[in-house]
Amino acid sequence: MKREAKRTGVFTRRALLLAAGQMGALGLLGTKLYQVQVVEGARYATLAETNRVSTRLIAAPRGRLLDRFGETVAGNRSNWRALLVAEQTADVGGTLDNFSRIVPLADHERARIDREVRRHRRFIPVVVRDFLTWEDMARIEVNAPDLPGILVDVGTTRLYPLGSTLAHVVGYVAPPNEDDVAEDPMLALPGLRIGRAGVEKYHDLALRGRAGAVQFEVNAVGRLIREMDRQEGSQGQDIALTIDAGLQKSVLERLGEESASAVVLDCRNGEVLAMATNPSFDPSVFNSGVSQAQWIEWTSNRRAPLINKAAAGLYAPGSTYKMVVALAGLEAGAISQGERLNCPGYLDLGDTRFHCWNKGGHGMLDLRGALKNSCDVFFYEVARRTGIDRLATMSNRFGLGVRLDIELPGARKGLVPTRGWRLAQGKAWNLGDTVVHGIGQGFLQLTPLSLAVMAARLATGRAVQPHLTRTVGGVLQKGARPEDWPQLGLPERDLRAVREGMWQVVNEPGGTAPVARLTIPGVQMAGKTGSTQVRRVSREQRERGFKSENLPWEFRPHALFVAFAPYDAPRYALSVVVEHGNAGAATAGPVARDIMTNVLTRDPVGRREPPARVAEGATPGPAAAPPGRDGPR
């Protein structure tokens, strides 16, 4: 009995110990379950969801650039691409090696990917290859288990339907650099581009939009199962330009093979209707990266296709500057409208002789006759009497040598010298310097855009500013009405005298540019020729009958022409510069005539829709008669 009782007691103690152990284990298990399911339930649910769902930001589609009639000049198109998320692979190099066996990667592509992986945070996708074909995508998807971190995605790429036609105005986009990403980490998103030139750069923030997000369901090896949700974000704002794309094309066609530029303005409100530079380039090349061979080709071309010559090219204005000299002289009282000066073919100043282009001289001329004949001696004398500082002040009033309010980051203001400018260089200003500036030579350096602005201000008497933007996000921008721009404050009689001289240049017998006369019935254009030397001509060369057309191309004078039309109701202003084109009348005049004829026939500011085609011989608007019964006198 005692032995039985002892065995029972041992069993009971063991049972109790076992029960206690089981209760303790169950307690620990319950505590852990409580910890996992209740206390940390949300965290583990998030981790589980993260393993199942892959979320990443996507760049918003960039806003479009449109011409004044709604034609797309910069848009977007779909682009299948392969992305790499570095944090989803333990061996980035191995993944890229496997990828390159499926879709070959060039050495420079591999170097770019490695650089971007190091530069960006590991959760930010890096573009491995753009513009994938269906075959490429199929091979990538089949080999997905061997490509951890590789995703196939659809994005957008910038598209320029007109190619080189508007390259210098629209500009181009390119991938952001390290400094850009440091300022805004969102710029690291794959496929995002920023404006690097032209309107793309000026309106970059408005065009970018706001980033979206996409969620994918993935399996244990990271392979995409399905797209669960996509929020595209906010597309950038569409921006309508003042440019008429059809007119821009025709202007470039007229420039032909010349190294030249032309600007057409609505002279009443400053809208830029065409801004052409020849030669040009394809802006889409910058989107994917410029090859070294392409860059060498561009930079070694002596005609400089990358430079926007219309807004950044600097040229001496030559005789196109004489209207400003005339107005400065009239305002200063240095000359009166009816005063006549003698031109014997030269002006002697000390021991220096300044020649007129007409060796035999023009005889006695008043202001209108001096403009008509483009007499150099007359304007030598007007400049001498007026002084360089008064010339500079009048130049600034006409948009010369000052910063113009144009949406082109690379636009240059040029140079209109003063005595103070020369003294700042440690040199004195000489009277001879003033004299040569009377015919637009010397230190003067102006852009074709500023010359077109000058012509517009001459035509209207208002301080119009050139601008390229009509609407941003559908909102009309300031400057669309003529009354938005102030008067120049010049006497109308002085402006009328200069306009009449420009009318005589083109339309009166004996003018320097009869070749620029319009053939549209009843419509007339006022203009002024210019020819500027790029190399000094010595006295010996003049005596031997020097001819500039015999020089090598790069040493020939530039040919210029400025104009506005119709004469009696000015609506359009233009400037043309043909590099090394010799005489302005013979080279730039016919180009200006043909461009203005096309502009008047298309009449872009008088239409809401572009013409289906330019009707040959069409007559635009009301007839414009010459001033006075027999023309200006």
Q: Residue 208 belongs to what H/E stretch?
A: helix 204-208
The string of pLDDT tens digits covering residues 567-592 is 999 999 999 999 988 776 789 999 99
Calpha distance 313→277 (Å, rounded): 10
Calpha distance 450→414 (Å, rounded): 9
Structure tokens at 147: 């490509």
Q: Is the dihedral of CA 169, 170, 175, 181 positive or negative?
A: positive
Contact by Cβ (8 Å): 409, 468: no
Calpha distance 289→112 (Å, rounded): 11
Where are the extended beta strands (E) located within 366-491? 469-472, 475-476
The pLDDT of residue 615 is 41
pLDDT at 381 over 60: yes
The residues with which 471 forms a beta bridge, in sequence order, are 240, 476
Residues 6+ apart with CB under 8 A from 312: 410, 411, 412, 447
| Highest-scoring range by mean pLDDT, 4-13, 370-379, 609-618 | 370-379
pLDDT at 630 over 50: no
The string of pLDDT tens digits covering residues 124-154 is 788 888 888 888 888 888 888 889 988 887 7
Which among 300, 252, 312, 254 is positioned nearest to 279, based on CA atoms?
252
Domain-wise residue ranges, the chain: 55-237, 245-281+308-606
**What is the CATH number assigned to the segment(s) 55-237?**
3.90.1310.10
Which among 503, 508, 526, 492 is positioned nearest to 337, based on CA atoms?
492
Q: Is the dihedral of CA 527, 262, 309, 297 positive or negative?
A: negative
The pLDDT of residue 541 is 52
Calpha distance 420→426 (Å, rounded): 10
Q: Which CATH superfamily is domain 245-281+308-606 in?
A: DD-peptidase/beta-lactamase superfamily (3.40.710.10)
Calpha distance 301→618 (Å, rounded): 40
| Highest-scoring range by mean pLDDT, 37-46, 127-136, 484-493, 553-562 | 484-493
Contact by Cβ (8 Å): 366, 339: yes
* Residue for token pair 């996992």: 36
Q: Is 272 helix (H, G, I), strand (E, B) or coil?
A: strand
pLDDT at 597 over 80: yes
Contact by Cβ (8 Å): 518, 618: no
Q: Tell me which DSSP letter residue 266 carries.
A: E
For residues 630 and 404, the model is more confident at: 404
For residues 476 and 58, the model is more confident at: 476
pLDDT at 512 over 50: yes
Which among 325, 523, 499, 347 is positioned nearest to 416, based on CA atoms?
325
For residues 366 and 620, the model is more confident at: 366
Q: Is the dihedral of CA 270, 274, 280, 285 positive or negative?
A: positive
Sorting pLDDT into bands at 50, 70 and 90, what band is 317? very high
The pLDDT of residue 61 is 82
